[in-house]
Structure 1
Amino acid sequence: MTSDIPTMLRLHRAMFLAREIDRVEQDLVKQGLAHFHVSGAGHESTALIADYLGQQDWLHLHYRDKALLLARGLPLVEFFRSLLATGPSHSAGRQMSAHYSARELNVASMVGPVGNNALHAVGNAQAVKFHPDSPVVICCVGDGTTQQGEFLEAVGEAVRTGAPVVFVIQNNNWAISTKTPGQTFFDLPTGPAGSFFGLPIRRVDGVDLAATRAAFESAVTHTRATRGPALLLMELERLSDHTNADDQALYRAADELKSGKSRDPLEAIRQSLRESQMGDAALAQLETSLIAEVAAAVAEARREAVPETAGQAKAPYPPEFAHAKEYRGDAKASNLTMREALNRVLRDQLAANRDVHLLGQDIEDPKGDVFGVTKGLSTAFPGRVRNAPLSESTIVGTSIGRALTGQRPVAFIQFADFLPLGFNQIISELGSMYWRTDGSWQAPVILMVSCGGYKAGLGPFHAQTLESILAHVPGIDVVMPSSAGDAAGLLNAAFQSKRPTVFLYPKSGLNLSDRRTSDDTAKQFVAPGKARAVRQGNDLTLVTWGNPLTQSLLAAETLSGAGAELDVIDLRSISPWDEDAVLRSVRRSKRLLVVHEDNHTAGFGAEVMATVMEKAGLPVSARRVTRDDIHVPFQFERQIDTLPSYRRIMEAAAALLEFDLAWEAPKADAGPAAIAAIGSGPADDEVEVVELLVKPGDMIKTGDLVAVVEATKAAVDVQATVTGKVLSIPVEPKQKIAVGAPLMFVEADASVARQQATVTAERIDKAILKRRGAPQPAPVTIGRAEVPVGVAGIAGITGGRKVHNADLKGNWQTRDAGDIVKLTGIESRRWVQPGETVFSLAVSATQKLLDEQQLEIGDIDLVIAATGTPDVITPSLACRVADAVSTAGRASLPAYDINAACSGYLYALANARDYVTNNPNARVLVVTSEVLSPLLDQNDFNTAVLFADAATASLVQGPGHEQPTLFTFAQPTIAGAPESGELLSVPRAGEGYIKMNGREVFADAVRAMSATLTSACAAEGITMDDIDLMVPHQANQRIIDAIARRSGRPAHSIIRNLGNTSSSTIPLALIDALPTTKPGDRLGLVAFGGGITYAAAIATVGSER
């Protein structure tokens, strides 16, 4: 040992405190105040290594390393916080007490599966190898741990890559109750080994402190200088039971236990201090003071509260996710396949962030991944796109280690079938890192995994998806795109989210030409947990993801021809998944079909169905179409039988929709034989013709080389499958054709038997459908008076041009801006600017509402548009708006317009309430849109100063939705006094101007609105005195003031800066008024409009105003 007194005192402090912590922990367990204890007695000399470490160094430690943790600087109280599982502990009470972590000290989090830390340590070391301050990584394990595959792989990887990690093996000859001598790589049945994977085994007696100090210094110095690994074996004694749940006297001989006490490193440091002239009294005094420190730490920890919650398994998404708009590329400029889109995103991320590293088997050029996903990347980014050893646990484990340092590793797993080889790291480490450290550590590894079948050449161990098993792991996101735009958007989101993500990409979809995306992949974004409505309908909800989307869409198209419209939802994200989108759809259709490629039993479809049954709130008919509970066969036709096929999906859907289904097989083709294009592997859907080696008229025989095509991964020679005469060649060089499409047609020699054609696609028979009965599931009926109908949201848009009174005063010699305010209350109004129309304003308001409510038009059951200024008669404004906001082709829902002029909003609410009363689970979109400014005679003071342009959208819903409402409303009272237009008329565009008899309109409006609102109150059994606030049509301020005086109730006004926007005034006023109200307030909505029309409704403010 050294004669340096401060060094010996520092070492004694760490070792004695560790031993005292053990003693106190044992007492607390015996008192029932703690529940688990692991002793480090006999292993305290590992603390010696701390003297050779700097702040830049990293530690992946063993659960007996209390003394080393203390020497590194872990606060004493932290041991008891962990023991007692207090809220302030490093894990907020989640980790078992012996599994420590200290982000600020570069001490990585420990877990129960020993040996996992070795791969992290190697990845950690690989990440910091070239840092200028030459960090080293310490990895401590026990002798039992060295038999774990993870540890053996870690040493091999460290040697292969020259990682600066020092492996410290603490050999006490016991793995709990199993003796290890003669059973480890360093202690073979034939005797001690001198090296492992070519790495010298440095041996030291851990009780000999001087020798141990020298060994640590040598190993750390060597690794820091050479940037390569070292392996140090410490011989130690386990001086205590394995844990409080163990009694080593049951399996260790008494004389062995007695002799072991002589090998105590704490006694060794005490003896060194005595030899340095410290007397027993001084030493006892010192240790008494240390005991007091431990007691104080225990008392502090015992005063701390327990954790309030068990925490969240996943880190929250970045705040910008809440406002990010989905973008899947420009459909008009789509030229990148999924493979190309993934490659482009990875290239962009590598270019933008030097911390991004790719690791996987065969991902370097020239191969660039077995499916070509990484083609060109290792050439463009040498050293950051690397081939990995043939070990999934090494790929995942070292990637986690890299992520702990701040790198952004992307780990490639060639086939999902190989994921189980890395499941230990995925389940125990990747999924738990954030949670078990209370967010101190994160491991944002992205696992890129090809998956699925539906291709000839695949079979068992090359065709699984395994998403249900992955979704079962807390703490990781699991996604599976089915198109290039979804793939690019989800991968960009995975990089931004910084959550560990398993990115499953269907290999059969990598090169699909009909699911391409545009070149602007850097802008594409799809939030995890958001499904996509691929097709809209109300008769059946079909939920799927990945490969089966193809078969599902084909089935939906077939059923549409028979009169049944399917809502096809591509889940895209498995964990998290979009419960709301599925529930909204099922509440409309009342039928659910879930289609997935994973196993039937405990497949994720069961989770979807269970959630629907728990939360839908109404009876639902449901079925699943899945892979059978067998492995995927190699023979392609049997593979299709096993997987969800078009035929099986049709049969399930037909049963749910009450169709009789028969099949008509295609007629056999007796024509010439075809020689088809082939690919280089299962991922190829399309090839390019490079060379045609025959011409029409040539005679060929089976096996002749007839063409060369270029596939994804290689050029492919195409041989003749038939003997005969070439009749025609329908392709040319440089032409791209689908795999399986004919390259040439041959008149077969009848005397030579043809080879049996290879089946590479599902045979699509003709479906003959006959409806047994109309698909009319009985809605849940609730009596009219009992149905609470409300408005869940309102969005408004005004014209883009602000027009002040001063801008208008020049039109009249005897009027000024003040006169306008005095007579109307209006200071400015909003008129449309060039490019804005009644349609564009309506679309903007509708899209704004849908975005705010996180809905799509497929979630809406009816659209009603109120407008007195339509720009087109047919199609209606409602139909055009529904079409414009649809993201999945033509929407399937009723939509119509009404014209009640300024009363239009309340008339529309009356229609919406009728619909929802009969369909309590329905949602109705009420749109108002008016563009009046182009119809104004600028020389007519009565109209030119009043009218303005705006649109609104309101979401009306019944009780079948959990979403709260801004207000509920009673059945509106509608009335009128029809007239010819002498009082008020609005012409068609280009056929004149708005005309209004202002004096008579004023009198009629005040009288009619007061009377109509009184009638609405009477219908609800209340009086005007019960109204807390009137929200009248904003015709002009004089009318608003007059009805307020007549009723004695306050009236809300927004006309000053908006003008009279006809049917849009009440919803715009509600947007402004609701924040000033309180739950339970009664509102009187009342309007007067051309025609003449009147309407009023009583609304009650909800809790979400």
Structure 2
Amino acid sequence: MAENKGKVQLFLEIYESILKAREIDILEQDYTQRGEAFFHVSGAGHENVAFLNPFLIPEDYLHCHYRDKSLMLARGVTSRQFFLSLFAKDQSHSRGRQMSAHLSDPSKNVLSLVGPVGNNALQAAGLAAAVKSRAKNPIVLCALGDGTTQQGEVLESIAHAVRETLPVLYLIEDNTWAISTKTNQRTFYDLPSGPAKEFYGIPIVRVDGRDPETVYETFGKVVTEMRRDRKPAIVVFQVSRLNSHTNADDQRLYRSLEEIEETRRRDDPVLFLENWLVEHGEDRNHLAEIRQNVQKSLTQEAVEAQESPEPEPCFTAKAELPKSLTDPAREYRGAADGDQITMLEAIREVLKTRLAWDEKVSLFGEDLEDPKGDVFGITKGLSQAFPGRVQNSPLAESTIVGVSVGRALAGERPVAFLQFADFFPIAFNQIFAELGSMHWRTDGGWKCPVIIMATCGGFKPGLGPFHASSMESIAVHTPGIDVYMPSSAGDAAGLLNAAFESQRPTVFFYPKSSLNDRSAATSRDVARQIVAIGKARMHRKGNDFTFVAWGNTVSLCDKAAVALENAGITSDVIDLRSLSPWDEETVVESVRRTGRLIIAQEDSLTASMASEISATVGERVGTQVQIRRVSRPDTHVPFHFENQLEVLPSYKKILTAAVEMLGGQLSWIQAKGAEEGFTYVEAAGSSPSDESVTVLDWKVKVGDTLKPGLMLAEMEADKAAFDLSCPVSGTLAEILVPVGDMVKVGTPLLKVATGTAKIVRKPATQENPGTPVIDLPARSVTFTGNALPSRLTGPVAGIAGIAIAPGSRRVSNEEIAQKCPEWTAEDILKRIGIESRPWATDDEDALSLATRAAKDLLAAQNLTAADLTAVFCSTGTPVKFTPSMACLVLAEISQGLTPQPEMQAADINSACSGFLYSLQAAYDHLLHNPEGRVLVLTTEVLSRKTDPTDYQTAPIFGDAATATLVVGAKHASAMLASIDRPVLSAKGENGDILRVPLPQDGFIYQDGPKVYLEAVRQMIAQLEAACAAGGTSPADLDLIVAHQANQRILNAVRQKTKVAPEKVFSNIRNYGNTSSNTIPLGLYELLPQRKPGKIIGLTAFGGGFTFGAAILRTL
């Protein structure tokens, strides 16, 4: 009886937590419906999860489900915290940053919930690995929805828990719905063939989540067994979802009212618990009194929470660094004298030191354990020295990072190894959503000091796609993560020590080509070495040029700087080494002095670190500056090594760019190879990371006959000993390197007389452009005052980006032909070259299309309307005459900006020539405002102005809008192509030949033959005039982009200018004639694929008649 009374009392306590959860739901829903709160997740139906709490201890960790209000309340999370979170208040656990259902309470070991469901699973495995051997046998709860169980990370987590025997309780709260998707027979525990009994060898326990006593007993048994055997468990907690998924969902769309009501009547756990309590002696009046008290207290708490202070916006996602870690005076990168070690050895020694100093440090990754000791040998010897703390992971990058995040949340200091940076995307979910956001979303409540180590970069034979990328741009774009990439052993040791001391999440990229570079070695005292976080290193100092680089490109820039110095040009070579944060001040100060900036990076070009630096310099340096990015194009790194050298930035490319910026000429003297009849056998490594080799023993002597495959020598590389085999037939003429000497890979070792034997071409193993010969204009490097010399002045205006918004309805020739019987679908394609065209839908017009294009452009450029200085809109189909379309679009894109931007804004009605007319207006504006940015819009909805039965107009016209960002000279680094001032003209015509009338006056009319003759003649004449003004001719153009009137006109332009067919661009087949849109639609396709230095001619003809042309020069 006493035991029964104890259970009743316990159930009453749980009842109060469950009631609070239900009443909080009701209040949240009420506030949300009133518009005083914005997001609400109901836990109704899941409340009996609180019966787990009696079996938990303070040392347990809880990764709850977002419906687990009752469990969190039973655990000790205050009801006030739920309301503070609902209203996103300053006193909430996240200071208003997290969505209201995603709670956290470090004091109760309730971990932070996050939006991507299933993210908690791998962390739970990591937490369990950390606490498995702790006193009191803690366990880790990983609560999941039934839909979430199909996430790959969940399955990885269960596999890891089984593999490592980890005490994780996978509590699957199965309400049979994943929002609106039924999950019955679609999960690993509920198969099409029926319920599964086990998964990965774990028995599956099922429990009716409505029945309080059954739930209580089941939880008790499972937890007791887990504390005893330390194994994972799976419990399927079968419940019903009584309300919609969230307030943003309406379950009546996919569930009948009868089903909803029946579910609430049949499956409400609160009713089940109340009935149980009454059956065991509790009075219903007492339960009603408890409910009233709960309602009263919660109502008051909600009011108080709503009236509590609002949070201030937070503009960083990182914890503040101690001043000691940002103080350059503290920096020590090792001594130049004494025994020197490479980057590989320096990293290994730092890890060894940290493992010895702190038992919480562990390493986890693929192939880390001895005897392999990492594929590059970084961890060799460490697993033997620190058993159990340097572990091989499964081949699963998400597991590596997710488990490490979990260990960090348990207070450990994990280091996660990704074998190649190319595998970074596989783990990106845990990096972006968890590692990067944890400090920010918990206001520092949880610390996650994971260090991710990843080799990166190319420049070595044997590397290629998915083994040679650098990926730093993705990493630095992740808020909350420090990102480092050293170029030397001293920087590697200093930055790695700084990462350990900072306790901030860090991605540490180390270039595999630098691992064994003895020219960038450091002293053995790596434990003392430290580098200030966010501070660049001035690798070389000068006055005429600024080079900014990191990782592999530092040595390339330094080599270019040496070549320039031989020509009298001195340079700053800045090694950023810390990419997030990065040293803006050092770079900006340097560029202000030199006026010229080259940024060299291995990563691909678009949206890259180099682009960020260029933009920052452009914004902050108040003088006109030349900027060039030397980067891998937006492509992958090939395996073919000579192609790899062409794709990646190189010494030759960097020096060429510098000499071009100085207005000089560059040529190369090629080194002579072996004389005729001889060849060299060069030093080769045993792996792509080898920088140098040592001759241990020659197995041949001068005069020996050599054959392919013959063993020449025993060699020792940076990672292993190996045999050097002969690649040619001949007679050994000379041994060039004695036994015991260490030489760089690629150094000639032997000279072989081959006679007349055919020599197989040896593949390149390193860049070797020859010796540069630099010819610079006299005094060409002088830079004084606030402007560059006039000969170095950049373009007045250029295109920085284009966005398009075609009509959303695609109209085929077959549809046109149905109403226009004069032509069949085939006739239309054959006569005018159009197969289909975009038309606006009923809810689209010229304004909505233009607004869409403008917003897309600004978003892509990371700008707002406040960054613009003018808006020009070309349109012949405005939605109203006043306000102008330019002003209407400006109003749309200015919404939410305070104060509202003010600038020049006007419409231009020049029909199909309107884009060129607008470009000239933009050019003239920027000529006097070099810091300006002009939004050039084109927008036309012509389909509504065509007679569907008129074969001369119905098949031709399409609907679209475009937005082009034209920038001034001070934004030259952002330009895709510069613009010569457009040449414009017009010839008055009263509309008898071509007209677009007012809506009440009929449809578009054109006299096709006359329009054809005038269009061809004027477009060619204008193009010739523009070329003459730009010092070129139509024949010298790399491409002509003419107004896409119809294919016959385009063919005539090509024939009369006598250029090759491929030099006249056409995309009319799928767009039709969209009037002023056609040229920017073409440029939208062409400019992202441009090659620098190409000249493009633009030409157009339109109603009025208007005509014009312009020259673009790609940059």
For 1:311 and 1:70, locate their aligned partners in 2 and report how far apart those are by CA, in whole Å: 32
Paired residues of 1:371 and 1:712 also in contact (CA < 8 A): no
For 1:72 and 1:363, locate their aligned partners in 2 and report how far apart those are by CA, in whole Å: 39
Paired residues of 2:123 and 2:407 also in contact (CA < 8 A): yes
Residue of structure 2 equivalent to 1:210: 213
For 1:34 and 1:630, locate their aligned partners in 2 and report how far apart those are by CA, in whole Å: 46
- How far apart are residue 228 of structure 1 and its match? 1.6
- How far apart are residue 768 of structure 1 and its match? 1.5
For 1:625 and 1:102, locate their aligned partners in 2 and report how far apart those are by CA, in whole Å: 48
Residue of structure 1 equivalent to 2:515: 510
- How far apart are residue 179 of structure 1 and its match? 0.7
For 2:559 and 2:326, locate their aligned partners in 1 and report how far apart those are by CA, in whole Å: 34
Residue of structure 1 equivalent to 2:182: 179
> SS state of the match for residue 367, structure 1?
coil
For 2:388 and 2:741, locate their aligned partners in 1 and report how far apart those are by CA, in whole Å: 37
- For the aligned residues, what is the CA RMSD? 1.5
Amino acid at match of 1:513: R
Give the alignment partner of residue 737 of structure 1, picking from 743, 748, 754.
Answer: 743
Paired residues of 1:367 and 1:713 also in contact (CA < 8 A): no
1:287 aligns with 2:291: yes
- Give the 5 Å matches for 1:835-850: none
**TM-superposition CA deviations, 1:919-942 (whole Å, max 9, x none):** xxxxxxxxxxxxxxxxxxxxxxxx
Residue of structure 2 equivalent to 1:408: 413
Residue of structure 2 equivalent to 1:25: 28
1:266 aligns with 2:270: yes
For 1:209 and 1:6, locate their aligned partners in 2 and report how far apart those are by CA, in whole Å: 13
Residue of structure 1 equivalent to 2:497: 492
Give the alignment partner of residue 306 of structure 2, picking from 302, 305, 318.
Answer: 302
Paired residues of 2:62 and 2:111 also in contact (CA < 8 A): yes
> SS state of the match for residue 628, structure 2?
strand
Residue of structure 2 equivalent to 1:91: 94
| Higher Cα radius of gyration | 1
Amino acid at match of 2:528: K
Aligned pair count?
Answer: 781
Where do 5+ consecutive residues of structure 1 fail to align?
A: 783-1105
For 1:645 and 1:576, locate their aligned partners in 2 and report how far apart those are by CA, in whole Å: 26
For 1:181 and 1:255, locate their aligned partners in 2 and report how far apart those are by CA, in whole Å: 20
**TM-score, scaled to structure 1:** 0.70
> SS state of the match for residue 402, structure 1?
helix
- How far apart are residue 468 of structure 1 and its match? 1.0
Residue of structure 2 equivalent to 1:539: 544
- How far apart are residue 273 of structure 1 and its match? 1.0
Paired residues of 1:2 and 1:210 also in contact (CA < 8 A): no
Residue of structure 2 equivalent to 1:692: 698
Amino acid at match of 2:51: L
- Give the 5 Å matches for 1:376-775: 376-670=381-675, 672-750=678-756, 752-774=757-779, 775=781
Q: How has the CA–CA distance of structure 1 residues 23 and 2 changed in structure 2, closer, same or farther, with 3 Å as cutoff?
A: farther
For 1:723 and 1:228, locate their aligned partners in 2 and report how far apart those are by CA, in whole Å: 64
Paired residues of 2:494 and 2:529 also in contact (CA < 8 A): yes
Where do 5+ consecutive residues of structure 2 fail to align?
A: 789-1115
For 2:675 and 2:110, locate their aligned partners in 1 and report how far apart those are by CA, in whole Å: 73
For 1:736 and 1:661, locate their aligned partners in 2 and report how far apart those are by CA, in whole Å: 34
Amino acid at match of 1:135: P
- How far apart are residue 334 of structure 1 and its match? 5.3
- How far apart are residue 753 of structure 1 and its match? 2.6
1:776 aligns with 2:779: no
- How far apart are residue 253 of structure 1 and its match? 3.0
1:59 aligns with 2:65: no
Amino acid at match of 2:296: A
**TM-superposition CA deviations, 1:526-580 (whole Å, max 9, x none):** 0121001111110011111110112111111111111111111011111000000
Paired residues of 1:143 and 1:174 also in contact (CA < 8 A): yes
Q: How has the CA–CA distance of structure 1 residues 494 and 727 changed in structure 2, closer, same or farther, with 3 Å as cutoff?
A: same
Amino acid at match of 1:152: L
**TM-superposition CA deviations, 1:1075-1098 (whole Å, max 9, x none):** xxxxxxxxxxxxxxxxxxxxxxxx
- How far apart are residue 473 of structure 1 and its match? 0.7
For 1:428 and 1:538, locate their aligned partners in 2 and report how far apart those are by CA, in whole Å: 43
Give the alignment partner of residue 7 of structure 1, picking from 10, 16, 32.
Answer: 10
> SS state of the match for residue 614, structure 2?
helix
1:117 aligns with 2:120: yes
Amino acid at match of 2:370: D
Paired residues of 1:538 and 1:566 also in contact (CA < 8 A): yes
Residue of structure 1 equivalent to 2:191: 188
Paired residues of 1:15 and 1:45 also in contact (CA < 8 A): yes
Paired residues of 2:45 and 2:241 also in contact (CA < 8 A): yes
For 1:377 and 1:345, locate their aligned partners in 2 and report how far apart those are by CA, in whole Å: 11
Residue of structure 1 equivalent to 2:318: 314
For 2:737 and 2:202, locate their aligned partners in 1 and report how far apart those are by CA, in whole Å: 60
Amino acid at match of 1:114: V
**TM-superposition CA deviations, 1:1024-1072 (whole Å, max 9, x none):** xxxxxxxxxxxxxxxxxxxxxxxxxxxxxxxxxxxxxxxxxxxxxxxxx
Amino acid at match of 1:653: A
- Give the 5 Å matches for 1:728-877: 728-750=734-756, 752-774=757-779, 775-780=781-786
**TM-superposition CA deviations, 1:836-857 (whole Å, max 9, x none):** xxxxxxxxxxxxxxxxxxxxxx
Paired residues of 2:710 and 2:726 also in contact (CA < 8 A): yes
- How far apart are residue 712 of structure 1 and its match? 3.3
For 2:339 and 2:572, locate their aligned partners in 1 and report how far apart those are by CA, in whole Å: 25
For 2:385 and 2:758, locate their aligned partners in 1 and report how far apart those are by CA, in whole Å: 51
For 2:45 and 2:105, locate their aligned partners in 1 and report how far apart those are by CA, in whole Å: 23
- How far apart are residue 778 of structure 1 and its match? 4.0
**TM-superposition CA deviations, 1:458-505 (whole Å, max 9, x none):** 111111111111111110000100000000000000000011000000
**TM-superposition CA deviations, 1:611-652 (whole Å, max 9, x none):** 111111221111110011111111111101001111110111
For 2:624 and 2:751, locate their aligned partners in 1 and report how far apart those are by CA, in whole Å: 55
Paired residues of 1:37 and 1:98 also in contact (CA < 8 A): yes
Amino acid at match of 2:150: Q
Amino acid at match of 1:187: D
- How far apart are residue 363 of structure 1 and its match? 0.8
For 2:382 and 2:4, locate their aligned partners in 1 and report how far apart those are by CA, in whole Å: 53
Paired residues of 2:326 and 2:535 also in contact (CA < 8 A): no
Give the alignment partner of residue 148 of structure 2, picking from 141, 145, 148.
Answer: 145
Residue of structure 1 equivalent to 2:366: 361
Give the alignment partner of residue 234 of structure 1, picking from 233, 237, 254.
Answer: 237
**TM-superposition CA deviations, 1:733-788 (whole Å, max 9, x none):** 443222222332222253x4323212100013222211124212341399xxxxxx
- How far apart are residue 135 of structure 1 and its match? 0.8
For 1:630 and 1:405, locate their aligned partners in 2 and report how far apart those are by CA, in whole Å: 41
For 2:732 and 2:674, locate their aligned partners in 1 and report how far apart those are by CA, in whole Å: 18
- How far apart are residue 662 of structure 1 and its match? 2.0
**TM-score, scaled to structure 2:** 0.69
For 1:773 and 1:88, locate their aligned partners in 2 and report how far apart those are by CA, in whole Å: 66
Give the alignment partner of residue 201 of structure 2, picking from 174, 198, 202.
Answer: 198
Residue of structure 1 equivalent to 2:376: 371
How many percent of aligned residue pairs carry the same amino acid? 50
- How far apart are residue 226 of structure 1 and its match? 1.1
> SS state of the match for residue 638, structure 2?
coil
Paired residues of 1:345 and 1:492 also in contact (CA < 8 A): yes
1:158 aligns with 2:130: no
Paired residues of 1:663 and 1:765 also in contact (CA < 8 A): yes
